[in-house]
């Protein structure tokens, strides 16, 4: 039986935040999460790349390193890795069946995310990893990953208004949920936050007597290279930065501040492991250059306004004369704000549905886009991604950027391996 069929029965439980089900489920499995040293990472944007940096550095340092992320782009197995090797389909299926058995008889059935999260904890405990880098799924306080009572370090990368339907209408509400991963006395590394959010997170850290570390952004020293000033003695670490965009100066600094904390806790992470780990970091589908039918495409999730702004900043740094956006978005996203961040006069826009998900209607998106940016030189809708990409690359010599949803990027990868 494949993973999709095994997970299908849990789909209809949807997003249902809360810890009671996962705590009961993990107890039935022997509390594997209590056997795994953890780095816990939350944030609106940037948490995936911070996890990727840490996973790579700790692997290079010789630690058996687990990493749990979501969502996946192509295959469920991408979510659970040890030393950059995804779990096998066979092992994942076996763990899901084990989790399913443990859930039998409970009065409340777990959600799909809870089942996968329990499988990840079980896998890491069975493999006896030295450390697991765990990415929050949604929010923090009530997320299924928030069962670790004593993490080595927690990280909050950024906070902006996303998933407000579940987390609350204001940035302060969202910050309160994300600050829920902070644990008593455990250091928290925090990125640049809006003032309202920073106030909430700082106050929660003080309340729990958790050291609050807000590292300075790294500095670009040459294309693809950056330097970071350490917290303790202000020494300088120079390292390669393979992930694109100015935003990675912030994200890499958060990862390195966390590494510093681990070193202070006795972790053996050499400067060489940091440089090699950084140079080998990969985070597909985020500001990534790919070749499609002999054309160079830039692809990125850019699924919320802050991520869209980071993508726009990167595109602006390229000084590209003409731009064509190929976009699809989920119905729940902030379409107007994303378009506002991305679109400029004389850009072209090709809109498509996001297959197999709750997609926004491309025709409705076209109406919003032309209101936001009436000077678009073209705004067209297509029924599928391939025909939109073909039209985009054949129309002119514009740089084509595919973005708007990680699920759309996953669909692109699935059909263009």
| Residue 408 pLDDT | 97
Please say if the pLDDT value at position 106 is more than 90. no
| Residue 170 pLDDT | 86
- Reported confidence tier of residue 293, pLDDT bands at 50, 70, 90: very high
pLDDT, average across residues 53-70: 98
- Reported confidence tier of residue 404, pLDDT bands at 50, 70, 90: very high
pLDDT, average across residues 309-336: 94
- Reported confidence tier of residue 17, pLDDT bands at 50, 70, 90: confident
| Residue 275 pLDDT | 97
The reported pTM is: 0.94
Ordered structural domains, the chain, with CATH: 3-280 (3.40.1190.10), 288-415 (3.90.190.20)
Contact 333, 304 (CB under 8 A): yes
pLDDT, average across residues 164-181: 79
Please say if the pLDDT value at position 109 is more than 90. no
| Residue 4 pLDDT | 82
pLDDT of 206-260, one tens digit each?
A: 999 999 999 999 999 999 999 999 988 889 999 999 999 999 999 999 999 999 9
- Reported confidence tier of residue 14, pLDDT bands at 50, 70, 90: low
Q: Which of 286, 400, 406, 289 is nearest to 350 (CA)?
A: 400
pLDDT of 344-366, one tens digit each?
A: 999 999 999 999 999 999 999 99
| Residue 15 pLDDT | 67
pLDDT, average across residues 66-94: 97
pLDDT of 225-235, one tens digit each?
A: 999 999 888 89
Say what percent of the chain tops pLDDT 70.
96
| Residue 417 pLDDT | 72
| Residue 12 pLDDT | 57
| Residue 165 pLDDT | 52
Q: How many Å apart are CA 209 and CA 222, to the nearest integer? A: 39
pLDDT, average across residues 265-283: 97
| Residue 369 pLDDT | 98
> Backbone phi, then psi, for 73, in 5-degree steps?
-90, -50
- Reported confidence tier of residue 8, pLDDT bands at 50, 70, 90: confident
What mean pLDDT, rounded, does the chain reach?
93
Please say if the pLDDT value at position 316 is more than 80. yes
| Residue 24 pLDDT | 94
């Amino acid at each position: 039986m494949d993973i999709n069929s095994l997970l299908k029965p849990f789909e209809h439980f949807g997003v249902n935040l809360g810890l009671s089900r996962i705590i009961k489920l993990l107890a039935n499995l022997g509390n594997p999460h209590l056997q795994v040293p953890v780095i816990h990472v939350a944030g609106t944007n940037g948490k995936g790349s911070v996890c990727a940096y840490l996973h790579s550095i700790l692997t290079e340092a010789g630690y058996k390193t687990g990493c749990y992320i979501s969502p996946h782009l192509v295959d469920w197995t991408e979510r659970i890795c040890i030393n950059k090797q995804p779990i096998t389909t066979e092992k994942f299926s076996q763990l899901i069946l084990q989790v399913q058995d443990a859930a039998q008889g409970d009065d409340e059935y777990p959600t799909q995310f809870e089942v996968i999260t329990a499988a990840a904890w079980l896998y890491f405990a069975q493999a006896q990893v030295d450390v697991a880098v765990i990415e929050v799924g949604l929010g923090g306080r009530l997320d299924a990953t928030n069962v670790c009572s004593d993490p080595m370090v927690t990280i909050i990368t950024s906070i902006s208004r996303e998933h407000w339907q579940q987390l609350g209408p204001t940035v302060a509400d969202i910050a309160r949920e994300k600050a829920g991963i902070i644990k008593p006395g455990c250091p928290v590394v925090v990125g640049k936050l809006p003032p309202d959010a920073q106030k909430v997170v700082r106050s929660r850290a003080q309340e729990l007597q958790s050291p609050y570390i807000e590292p300075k952004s790294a500095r670009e020293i040459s294309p693809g290279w950056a330097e970071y000033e350490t917290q303790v003695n202000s020494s300088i670490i120079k390292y390669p930065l393979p992930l694109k965009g100015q935003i990675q100066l912030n994200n890499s600094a958060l990862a390195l501040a966390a590494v510093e904390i681990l070193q202070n806790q006795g972790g053996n992470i050499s400067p060489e492991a940091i440089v090699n780990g950084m140079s080998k970091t990969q985070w597909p589908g985020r500001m990534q250059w790919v070749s499609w039918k002999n054309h160079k495409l830039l692809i990125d999730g850019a699924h919320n306004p802050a991520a869209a702004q980071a993508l726009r900043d990167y595109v602006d740094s390229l000084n590209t004369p003409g731009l064509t956006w190929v976009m699809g978005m989920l119905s729940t996203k902030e379409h107007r704000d994303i378009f506002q961040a991305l679109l400029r006069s004389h850009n072209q826009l090709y809109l498509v549905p996001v297959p197999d998900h709750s997609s926004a209607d491309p025709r409705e998106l076209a109406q919003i886009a032309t209101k936001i940016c009436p000077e678009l030189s073209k705004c067209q809708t297509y029924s599928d991604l391939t025909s939109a990409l073909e039209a985009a690359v054949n129309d002119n010599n514009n740089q084509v950027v595919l973005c708007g949803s990680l699920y759309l990027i996953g669909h692109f990868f699935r059909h263009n391996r």
